[in-house]
Amino acid sequence: MPPVRRLGILTGGGDAPGLNAVIRAVVKSTCRRGIECVGIQDGFEGLLEPDRSRVLQPRDVTGILRLGGTILGTVNRGADPRRLVATSDGPKEYGVRVAEMAGRLGLDALVVVGGDGTLAIAYHLCTLGVPIVGVPKTIDNDIVGTESSFGFNSAVEYATDAIDRLHATAEAHHRILVVEVMGRYAGWIALYAGLAGGADAILIPEIPFDPHIVAERLLARERRGARFSVVVVAEGACPKGGSPAVTDPGGRGRLERLGGMGAEVCRLLAAETGKETRSVVLGHLQRGGQPTSTDRVLATRFGSYAVELAVRGRFGTMVAYDPPAIVARPLGEIVGKVRLVPVDSDLIQAAKAIGVTFGD
């Protein structure tokens, strides 16, 4: 295979803590190998316009390891890229244009950092011959093939701190506090932050919940002397009988409604328990902020290994975490899938063993 002399990098989809750590690792690794690194602004969109690229030197990435966001910018217009790719005409034409531009920029390789949507586009472009290595980015931790990705740990840490705060206020006021965290299809953040924050109930998309069961558990808690409760709800959680998020054909429109699942659970529990109940939506606060050490290390390993894969010519793959190793997975194997919390995992069992209810 031909040597890589010029390698591009872009970041797509929602921002996640650790994106800058990936960029830094890619720039530093290419620099040490004598490869020129080109930073492309604003995701795939920036690839279509020549003046949105520039060569990145090590000095350009000084101090960014610990910063949230992405120095390359990203674009997130609200369109579902998976649908874009699935449609017959548009994406093909679009892909061809991107492939052309990648060639015109003289890129021998392209590192694409992004979530499932961005990686689906990347896979599509690979089939058109663009030499891509993917790096998974998912705060929700729902990309298949990798045990976790950067951003997740930072989001869990943030959500845990938020739950700690709400504990204090719930206890002072003898209230039920409902915290809505991210997780449209998968409940990883809710599960981890709920366990770490000492939640009494954790409601996730994988386990449809019965509000009566949740309420009954909280009231039983009160009968034993506890005067407050904290409930963690994934935005994609769903009451029993409701249609689960992943199979709903309605797509984004439905998700808007789910944006209020925390508020809905709040109303349901207030009605069932008769107690003062408040809800808080963490929303965008989970995305920003400095990456934790865990995410910085993982992002650095991902970035470094992505360059390694590019140099070896292993295009069409994605770096992945198979603890304790970093490995490569074919992009084709992960596209269109979602990594859910296994309902019988020992995480769920541990939570139930200490008295957490999932409403089932």
Interface pick for its own copies out of 52, 73, 82, 260 (rule CB under 8 A): 73
Interface size with its own copies, residues (CB under 8 A): 89
Q: Which of residues 15-34 bind its own copies (CB under 8 A)?
A: 15, 19, 24-25, 28-29, 31-32
Q: Which of residues 87-146 bind its own copies (CB under 8 A)?
A: none
Interface pick for its own copies out of 102, 135, 266, 281 (rule CB under 8 A): 281
Interface pick for its own copies out of 60, 92, 96, 198 (rule CB under 8 A): 198
In angstroms, the CA 70 to CA 48 distance is 19
- Of 308 and 360, CB closest to its own copies: 308
The yes or no reply on residue 165 touching its own copies (CB under 8 A) is: yes
In angstroms, the CA 200 to CA 313 distance is 49
Phi/psi of residue 41, nearest 5 degrees? -75, 140
Other beta carbons within 10 Å of 328: 20
The yes or no reply on residue 256 touching its own copies (CB under 8 A) is: no
In angstroms, the CA 358 to CA 231 distance is 10
The yes or no reply on residue 192 touching its own copies (CB under 8 A) is: yes
Interface pick for its own copies out of 48, 239, 294, 314 (rule CB under 8 A): 294
In angstroms, the CA 244 to CA 216 distance is 23
The yes or no reply on residue 347 touching its own copies (CB under 8 A) is: yes
**Is residue 108 annotated as part of the catalytic site, yes or no?**
no
In angstroms, the CA 263 to CA 180 distance is 8
Interface pick for its own copies out of 48, 75, 263, 338 (rule CB under 8 A): 75
Q: How far is the CB of 120 from its own copies (least distance, A)?
A: 20
Strands annotated E in 267-340: 277-281, 317-322, 325-330
Looking at 88-96, 152-160, 201-209, 265-273, which segment touches its own copies (CB under 8 A)? 152-160
Pairing mode, strands 201-203 and 277-281: unpaired
Distance of CA 202 to the CA centre of its chain: 19
DSSP conformational letter for 345? S
Q: How far is the CB of 312 from its own copies (least distance, A)?
A: 13
In angstroms, the CA 317 to CA 311 distance is 13
The identity of residue 348, as a single letter, is I
Q: How far is the CB of 317 from its own copies (least distance, A)?
A: 15
Of 15, 116, 140, 200, catalytic: 140
The yes or no reply on residue 67 touching its own copies (CB under 8 A) is: yes
Looking at 104-112, 117-125, 210-218, 286-294, which segment touches its own copies (CB under 8 A)? 286-294
Distance set, CA 204 to CA 141, 231, 243, 248, 295 (Å): 13, 11, 13, 16, 23
Active site residues: 140
